[in-house]
Structure 1
Amino acid sequence: MSWAWEYLPDEEGVAGGAPPEFLGAVETKADELVRAAEALYLDGTTYEGSGEPMAYLDVAGGFFAYFVVPRLQRVFLCQVTTPPV
C-alpha cells in the first residue's frame, strides 16, 4: 500500500457541484498533503497513535475538510465548501 488521498464517502457526495477549477485546486492541495503525510509517517502501517484530528485548509474559492489516517496511508477529503453563487 502507498499513500494516497480520496473523497469520503465519494466524490459526488463530497464535491458534487463544485466548480472544476476549484476542485483542481483542492486536488493539488490534497496531493501536497499526501506528500507531507508520507514524509511525517515513514511507515504509516506501523503507526500506533490515534491519528490527527479533522483539519481545514483554505484554497482559492473556498476550503475543504480532511483528516489523515496513518495506518491506512490515506488522506480523506470529507467536505468541500465554496461560497454561494
Structure 2
Amino acid sequence: MSWKWEYAFGAEEASRTAPADFLAGVERKADELVRAAEALHVHGRAHAGADPKGGDVIIPGGMFTYQVVVRSERVYVVQITCLGF
C-alpha cells in the first residue's frame, strides 16, 4: 500500500459544492502532506505508536483540517471551509 489522501466524513459532501479553484488548492496541499508523511513514517504499516496530531492548513479562499493515520498510510481531509461562497 502506498500513501494517499482522501476526503473523510462531511468533507467529501462539502467538496461537491466548493469552487474548483479552491479544491485545487486543497488537493495541492494534501499532496504535500502525503509526501511529508511518507518521508517521516517510512514504515507506516508497521507503526506501533499513536498517530500524530492533525492540523489546519490555510489556503487561498479558506482552509481545511486534516488527520494522518499512519497504519493506514492515509492523510484524511476531515473538514473544508471555503470562504468564497
Please give the TM-score of this superposition, normalised by the length of structure 1: 0.91
The residue that corresponds to 1:59 in the other structure is 59
Name 1:28's counterpart in structure 2. 28
RMSD between superposed Cα atoms in Å = 1.5
Task: State percent identity of aligned pairs.
Answer: 45
Alignment partner, residue 78 of structure 2: 78
CA distance in 1, matches of 2:51, 2:6: 17
For normalisation by structure 2, the TM-score amounts to 0.91
Aligned position for 2:39:
39
C-alpha deviation, 1:12, in angstroms: 3.8
Residue deviations 1:13-71 (CA, integer Å, cap 9, x gap): 24231110000010010000000000000010011111012310001110000000010
Question: What residue ranges of structure 1 are gaps of 5+ in the alignment?
Answer: none
Q: Which deviates the most, 11-20 or 62-71? A: 11-20
Q: Which amino acid aligns with 1:24?
A: A
| Structure 1 segments (4+ residues) deviating >2 Å | 9-12
